[in-house]
Structure 1
Amino acid sequence: MWPWGHAAVGYLLCSLWIRSRYDRRPTAGIVLPLAVGTQFPDLVDKPLAWTFGVLPSGRAGAHSLLVAVPLLALLWWRVDGTTARRAWAGFAVGYLVHLATDGVYALLEGDVSGLTYLFWPALSLPSYAESPGILAHFLAADITPYLLAELLLFAAATLLWAVDGAPGLRAVGRWCKRRADGATTG
C-alpha cells in the first residue's frame, strides 16, 4: 500500500473509534503519533533495504510482528502518564494498521503466503517487487484500481480530518514557526 493509503486507513479507523468509544473527535496528541505510526515500518525498512542493503526487503524488519510487538511493549513500558499513553496508542494503532494494510492486496487475491512478512525472519519473505530507491518506486507507479481506491480513501480521510477540525495542523504550524524563528535568530 502507498503512504497515503496507510495514512487514510489509519485516520479513518482512529477517528471512527474515538468518535464511537468516547463521543469526541481525535486530538493532535493522538493524530500526530498515528501519522508517524502509519509510516513507521516503511521509514525504517525501505531505506535499510533499498539504500543501505541491511535488510533483504523493504518489507522485512519493522514489518514483522516479531519486531513490532516487542517494540510496542517496550514503548508502553517506558511511557508514563495519560498524555504519553494516548500518544503511544496513536502510534501503536498507526503501526499495526500499516502492517495489516500491507497484506490487504494479498488477501484480496487469495494469497495468504503474501503475509509471511508478518513473521519474518521465522518465515521466508514473500516475493515482492523491490525498488532501487524511494524516488524510483514512486516514478514506477502504475494507475491501477488499487491506487485509485487508495486515493479515494485518502480523500475520504482528508474530508473527515477537516470535519474533525484538522487535529494536529496547529501543532505542526507552531512547531514550524518555532523552527523558522530559531533559524532567523540563531
Structure 2
Amino acid sequence: MWPWGHLAVGYLLYSGLSRWRFDRLPGSAATLAVAFGTQFPDLVDKPLAWTFGVLASGRSLTHSLLTAVVICVLVVWYARRSGHSTIGIAFAVGYLSHPFADGVLSFVSGDYQYLAYLGWPLLDLPEYDTSAGFLARILGVEFTPFFALQIVLVALAFVVWGRDGYPVLAALRGWVVTWRERAAEQ
C-alpha cells in the first residue's frame, strides 16, 4: 500500500475509534500521532532495506507484529504516564493498521507466503526485489484496482477529516491568528 493509502486507513480507523470509544472528535495532536504511526514502519524498513541494505526486505523489522506490539505497548505506556494516553493510542492505531493494510492484497489473492513479514523473524521472508529505490518505485506506479481503492479511501478520509473539523489545520489556523495578534500588539 502507498503512504497515502496507509494514512487514509489509519485516520479512518482512529476517527471511528475516537468517536466510539472517547465520544469526541480526533484532536490535532492525536491526528499527527496517527499520521506518524501509519508511516512509521516504512520510514524504518524501506530505507534500511532499499538504501542501506541492512534488512532483507522493506517489510520486515517494523512490519512484524512482534515488533509492532512491543513498540505500541511502550508508546502507549509512556503516553499514559505522561498524561497523553489518546496520543499513544492514536499512534498505535496508525502503526498497527499499517502491516495489516499491506497484507490485504496478498490475503485476498491467496498469496499467503507474502504475509510472512507479520511473523518475522520467526517466519522466513519470501524474496523481494530490493534493487529499486524510492524514486524508481514511485515512477513505476501502475493504476490497478487496488491503487484505485486507495484513492477512494483517501477521498473518504478527506471527507471524514472535514467532518472532524480538519484537526491539525484548525490548530495551525489558531496559532497563526494568535501569532498575528501578538505581533500586532507589539
TM range (shorter): 0.7 to 0.9
How far is 1:29 from its partner? Answer: 2.1
Larger Rg: 2
2:142 aligns with: 142
CA distance in 2, matches of 1:58, 1:173: 37
1:8 aligns with 2:8: yes
TM-score (norm 1): 0.86
1:160 aligns with: 160
Deviation string 1:93-137 (CA, Å, 9 cap, x unpaired) is 000000110110011102222211011111111343435211111
Identical columns (%): 50
Which 5+ residue runs of structure 2 have no aligned equivalent? Answer: 177-186
Instruction: Confirm or deny: 8 A CA contact 1:131 1:137 kept in the other structure.
Output: no
2:75 aligns with: 75
1:106 aligns with: 106
Equivalent residues in 2 for 1:7-156, closer than 5 Å: 7-79=7-79, 80-83=81-84, 85-156=85-156
Provide the secondary structure at the position in 2 that maps to 1:61: coil
Which 5+ residue runs of structure 1 have no aligned equivalent? Answer: 177-186
How far is 1:163 from its partner? Answer: 1.4
CA RMSD of the aligned region, Å? 2.0
TM-score (norm 2): 0.86
CA 1:91–1:148: 2 relative to 1, 3 Å: same
How far is 1:175 from its partner? Answer: 8.2
Aligned residue pairs total 176
CA 1:70–1:162: 2 relative to 1, 3 Å: same
CA distance in 2, matches of 1:130, 1:159: 36
Instruction: Confirm or deny: 8 A CA contact 2:106 2:115 kept in the other structure.
Output: yes
CA 1:81–1:16: 2 relative to 1, 3 Å: same
CA distance in 2, matches of 1:74, 1:21: 21
CA distance in 1, matches of 2:171, 2:130: 35
Deviation string 1:14-50 (CA, Å, 9 cap, x unpaired) is 1112222333211112111000000000000101111
